[in-house]
Structure 1
Amino acid sequence: MTTDNPRAADAPSPGKRTVHCADALEWLAGQGVLTGCSLITSMPDLSEFPSFTLAEWKDWFVRTAGLVLSRCPDDGVTVFYQTDIKKDGTWVDKGYLVQKAAEQQGHALLWHKVVCRAPAGQVTFGRPAYSHLLCFSRGIRADLARSSADVLPQAGEVTWTRGMGVQACLAACRYVLANTPTRTIVDPFCGHGTVLAVANDLGLDAVGVELSNKRARKARALRMPLGDEAP
C-alpha cells in the first residue's frame, strides 16, 4: 500500500489507551511499581479542595506527589506539570513542593523547564504566566549531550483551563521515548486526556485515571487528528 502523506508513512502506530473512572489515590494505592511505565501528570489545585486550609492542601500535595513517584520504576521517569498559585498575597511554589516529595522518595531532578502560558513581559493576575515542567527519576540520569531547551515559548493548545498544553505534553512524551525503555504513559489525574492522546499519537500506550465520569469519557475519546499540532 502506498500513501501520499509522508508523515503518515513514517508515523508510529497509535498506542492503546485505558481510562479508569476512579479516585486516583485509591487507584495508586492499589498498584505496585508500574513496571514498563513512566508517569506524566498535573495534580489538583487548592481551588479543587474548598474545605482545605492552605497548610492542609500543601500536606496533601506533597504526600500525593510522593505516592505518584513511588509507583515509577527505576528505569522510568515521573514528569509533573504544575502552575503556581497566589493565595492571600503570597506565592505558593508548586515546583518546590514536588521537589520536596521527590527528595523524600529518593528521586533526582533530571530537568526543570519553564513553560510560558502567556507571552514574556505580559502581566497576569491570579495565576503566573508560566508553569513548571519537572522530570524526576530514581535510576535514570540526564545525558547532557541530549539536552533540550529549558524554556518552552508556549504551552500549546489546551482542552480546558487547567489542562496541560499539547507542546508541554509532547516535550514530556518525547523525553520518555528517547531516554527510557518504558513504553506506557500513566496519568493518574488525566482530566480530558491530552497526555494520553499525545502519548498514543507518538506510539506509546497510555493509562489514565479520572474521578469525573464526564471527563473520563472525554479522555477516552480525545484524539490528535492533526498529529503534533493540536488535539
Structure 2
Amino acid sequence: MENNPERDVVCADAIEWLQAQEKLEGASLVASMPDISEFPKWPLEKWKEWFKSTAALIMTKVPDDGVVVFYQSDIKYEGVWVDKGYLVQRAAEEVGLELLWHKIVCRVKPGYITFGRPAYSHVLCFSKNVRLLDLGKSTADVIPDLGEKTWERGMGLENCLMIVNFIKNHTQSNRIVHPFCGEGSVLAAANILGMNAQGIERSPKRAEKARQLKISDDLKSWIDG
C-alpha cells in the first residue's frame, strides 16, 4: 500500500476531458453517469443515445489489463422502466468489453416500495482481458446496504470501498479514474485503500468537496486484504 496516495480533481466537462485522452494506462475507471433528470429538455430516446455513447467513450479509455465499473440506478419515466444496466451492457458489446460481474446494491431495505427510482442499483464490471477464473474468490452478488452517502446522488461509502477493493486485488492498476465524480466518495475510498485517484467534475462546488472528502479508517475494517 502506498504511504501517500495522490488525489487530483479536474473541474471540467467529463466528456470533453475523456475525448482529449488516450487510453488511461495503469488505471481502472469507475463511472456513474447522469440520468435524464439532468437533461430536462431532451426526449427519452435522445438521452438513451447520449447515455450509451458516453458509456462507450468511457470504456474506450480503459487499458486492456484494467476494468471499468459502472454504478447506475434505473428510473421509472412516464410509465416505463428504463434499465441502465441494459444500456451499459449494449455499449460494452459495441466496444468489445466483457462483463465480469453484475451486482445489485440495495438502496433501501428489501420489501419497501419506492417511487420514481427502484430500490436497488446496478454495479457492473467490464474488462477486455481481465478474467475471474478462481470461483473461490467470488463475492456477494447482492449487497444489502450502500453505506453512508455524502449527498443524495452518492454511491455510498461501503459500496465505493467494495468497488475499489476489487480493483486493487484483481488488477495491476495503480490509480482510479472517476469521470462524473460528484463529491468524491470513490476518490476517498481509493486513497484510504492506498490507491491514487483522479476525478473529473463539472461543478466547481462538488469538485472542491471531492478534493477534501475523507473516509474514517474504521470504515474499511470489514474488507479482506
Q: TM-score, normalised by structure 2?
A: 0.95
* Contact preservation (8 Å) 1:133, 1:168: no
Pair 1:53-2:43 in alignment: yes
Pair 1:80-2:70 in alignment: yes
Pair 1:148-2:139 in alignment: yes
Shift of 1:226: 4.0
* Contact preservation (8 Å) 2:176, 2:190: yes
Q: 1:88 to 1:196 in 2, by over 3 A?
A: same
CA distance in 1, matches of 2:76, 2:176: 31
Let me know the Cα RMSD of the aligned residues. 1.3
Equivalences for residues 209-224 of structure 1 within 5 A? 209-224=200-215
Shift of 1:15: 1.4
The residue that corresponds to 1:176 in the other structure is 167
Shift of 1:229: 5.8
Shift of 1:12: 5.5
SS at match of 1:219: helix
SS at match of 2:148: coil
CA distance in 1, matches of 2:51, 2:27: 22
Worse overlay, 81-90 or 161-170: 161-170
Pair 1:25-2:15 in alignment: yes
Aligned residue pairs, count: 220
Equivalences for residues 1-231 of structure 1 within 5 A? 13-143=3-133, 144-228=135-219
Q: 1:24 to 1:164 in 2, by over 3 A?
A: same
Shift of 1:149: 0.3
Shift of 1:13: 2.6
1:136-172 residue CA offsets vs partner (Å, 9 max, x unmatched): 0011112322110001000111111111111111111
1:39-69 residue CA offsets vs partner (Å, 9 max, x unmatched): 0121111101112110000000000000000
1:9-38 residue CA offsets vs partner (Å, 9 max, x unmatched): xx7534100000000000000000000000
CA distance in 2, matches of 1:74, 1:100: 19
CA distance in 2, matches of 1:228, 1:156: 9
Shift of 1:214: 0.4
CA distance in 2, matches of 1:217, 1:229: 24
Q: 1:14 to 1:112 in 2, by over 3 A?
A: farther
Q: TM-score, normalised by structure 1?
A: 0.92
* Contact preservation (8 Å) 1:169, 1:198: yes
Q: Which runs of 4+ in 1 moved over 3 A?
A: none
